[in-house]
Amino acid sequence: MGKPLIIGNWKANKTLTQAKEWAGELAQKWSPKEATVEVILAPAFIHLAFLRDFFADKNLPVKLCAQDLSSYTEGAYTGEISAKMLSRLADYVIIGHSERRNYFQENEEILKQKVERAQEAGLSPIYCVFESGLSVPDGVEIIAYEPLFAVGTGQPDTPQNASTVAGEIKKRYNVRIIYGGSVKQENARDFLEQQNIGGLLIGGASLSASEFVNIIQNAV
């Protein structure tokens, strides 16, 4: 399956100044020589270019992920960020997060279009589902299982149940399944030890550089 993916999702947090401070602290505290995990960061769009240059400059193996993209290719869609704009800035894009489904009314048709836009631009979708019964568009290679009760609540799923659900999803789609929902430095390893869990999507705990470094250095 390859190294576990550890993905930090900043959501709508951090000014550019705060993003720079976080990156500086990461560079100071993390010695990635023997990294046993693949580290991915999903900041706001406006921080992608700075972080890409910063990580390249410091020789830090952090890949970047967009938190969203437009379902349109390009054109007269005020406020949208197209897949093409992101293709030099990120390798991955989160699609189908429960916050996008709930607060922005993104339905399965829109999500399918977003996956297609991502694939056309060479971005790899990290497709979120909040239960095993949800459908996943063709060609998705990473699925994040994020139960609603666990996202941002401090009430994670149990590692055993998360692995059972990940197993059900895997049976259907046979791709890498990661877990998200109240992952912290205290429980990260318990999830990664589960057979069906190939990585973590981390919201709140990724906002602290020192906690994120603890997770990536002690995860496996």
Q: Which is nearer to ligand PGA, 84 or 175 (CB)?
A: 175
Per CB under 6 A, the segment of 52-60, 104-112, 166-174, 199-207 that binds ligand PGA is 199-207
Helices (runs of H) and strands (runs of E) counted in the chain:
8, 8
Return d(Cα 181, Cα 201) in angstroms, integer.
Answer: 7
**Residue 124 contacts ligand PGA per CB under 6 A:** no
**Residue 183 contacts ligand PGA per CB under 6 A:** yes
Among 204, 211, 212, 214, which residue sits at the site for ligand PGA (rule: CB under 6 A)? 204
Please name the residue that has the structure tokens 């947090």. Answer: 13
Longest dimension (CA), the chain: 47
> Is position 47 annotated as part of the catalytic site?
no
The alpha carbon of residue 137 and the mean position of all alpha carbons in its chain are separated, in whole angstroms, by 17
164-183 burial code (b ≥16 CB/10 A, e <16) = ebbebbbeebeebbbbbbbb
| Amino acid at residue number 125 | P
> Is position 97 annotated as part of the catalytic site?
yes
**Residue 181 contacts ligand PGA per CB under 6 A:** yes
Among 5, 9, 114, 219, which residue sits at the site for ligand PGA (rule: CB under 6 A)? 9
CB of 151 to ligand PGA, least distance (A): 4
- Residues of this chain that interact with ligand PGA (CB under 6 A) are 9, 146, 151-152, 180-183, 201-205
